[in-house]
Structure 1
Amino acid sequence: MLTRICLVRHGETEWNAERRIQGQIDIGLNAAGLRQAEAAGRWLKAAGISALYASDLKRAWATGQAIGQAVGVQPVPVPELRERRYGIFEGLTYAEAESRYPEGYAAFEGRNADYAFEHGESLKVMYERVTGKLKELAQRHLGESIVVVVHGGVLDVINRFVRGNPLEMPRDFLIPNAGINWISAVDGRWTVETWGETAHLADGALDELPS
């Protein structure tokens, strides 16, 4: 049985616009982000969605609520799909993080999968957290189509998991705010159907994440 999962990045926040690293700091949507979330909901209204999950951080949860209103399904919180913990980088812009912690930033930008910042989380640890929950949701909803609202860093590792690419590989795909990404699973085999869709967003969307 084919299970289809629509992964949606949360709508825009002021910190996205400032290229400020949010991590697990609980930042809400800005006005543009709320409009994007509502647009994603309208786009998915006819997609036959049977279940809806969202990270419990405000920006993802509010996006999930907007989508839920449109598709008629209540969101369920999944703390396991929160953004990566960026430790000492959280609250800084990318430029500030590079200036204050040049060695750490080089490890981060170079996608060192063991680098865990200070009080943060490595790519390897995050990968296990995220993919474990993703596989659990796919198994729970065999043969269904579901929506999962997550974060840019979460989508980054999911794309690599589904395509079988290493965590260290430079990013070759988009992760726009409120972008729609369909993946599917059958008998443990995963496929990317579409990625980074923004046709539903009249004004486009930010992808402020480093490669």
Structure 2
Amino acid sequence: MTTSILLIRHGETAWNAVRRLQGHIDIPLNDEGQRQAEALARALADEPLHAIISSDLQRALQTAQAVAGHHGHPARTVQQDVQLRERCYGVFEGMLYADIERTYPAEFAAWQARDIDAVPPAGARVAESFRQFHDRCTDGIAAWAERHPGQTIAIVAHGGVLECAYRAATGMTLDSPRDFQVKNAGINRFTFDNGKLALKHWGDTAHLEQLVLDDII
């Protein structure tokens, strides 16, 4: 039976705003991210969600808990899964992109050239290659889909996780340049059937437009 999946990137963090790499560092939502999470939650209030699943990192969990709160699910019912974490970038984590390029030019170049088996230097944590990360998070998404056949689930994760899902669903190779945006608190709709992801709709941010209007007004 087909599982419908709403795959959502967490709301904005302070580090998103300044292009500081987060990876596994546990950064909370900033004020804008909290506003985005609330707008997302209102948009999904009437969605027939059978389960709400999140990465265990707080920026994703806070976003998922907002959805649960507006959906009649107690926040404690959000199920957490470490497999849905962002990619681990080792020593790059916590650094500005510009500082990574200056301090680790060869490793930065391999990352930007989409060498999918390149592994950044270890830091507080051992880094992953893009291939390892892709396999980890797509396996995680598949496992949740298989637990909910014929149902609709929401998964709140990270930009890299959504990128991997997009590539898996569309047949886009891992080493090709990314030509699509992954927006904070955007709604992306997939189906899962017979072991395969399929993309139905990408990048719905209509619920965030009112935030912009409110700022203008």
State the TM-score, normalizing by the size of structure 2.
0.91
How is 1:100-139 mapped onto 2 (pairs within 5 angstroms)?
100-119=103-122, 120-139=127-146
State the 4+ residue runs in structure 1 displaced beyond 4 angstroms.
none
2: CA distance, partners of 1:203 / 1:80? 33
Over the matched positions of the two proteins, sequence identity in percent amounts to: 44
Q: Aligned letter for 1:46?
A: D
> What whole-Å deviation, never above 9, does each CA across 1:127-186 have from its counterpart, x for those lacking one?
111111111111100000000000011111111111111110111211011111010022
Q: Secondary structure at the match of 2:136?
A: helix
Please name the residue that 2:161 is paired with.
154
The equivalent of 1:44 in structure 2 is: 44
For these two proteins, the number of residue pairs brought into alignment is 205
In 1, Cα distance between equivalents of 2:151 and 2:6? 11
Q: Matched residue of 1:114: which SS?
A: coil
When the two chains are superposed, the root-mean-square deviation of aligned CA atoms in Å is 1.3
Match of 2:31 in 1: 31
Q: Which runs of 5+ in 2 are unaligned?
A: 213-217
Distance 2:114 2:44 in 1: 33
Look up the match of 1:22.
22
- Report the CA distance between 1:190 and its aligned residue: 2.4
Structure 1 SS opposite 2:88: coil
C-alpha distance in 1 between matches for 2:18 and 2:109: 21
Q: Distance in 1 between matches of 2:182 and 2:210?
A: 15
Question: Residues 59-208 of structure 1 correspond to what in structure 2 (within 5 A)?
Answer: 59-73=59-73, 74-119=77-122, 120-202=127-209
Q: Once the 2 structures are TM-superposed, how far is the Cα of residue 2 of structure 1 from its aligned partner? A: 1.9
Whichever structure has more helix as a proportion of its residues is: 2
Instruction: Find the aligned partners of 1:18 and 1:62 in 2 and give their Cα distance.
Output: 20
Structure of higher CA gyration radius: 2
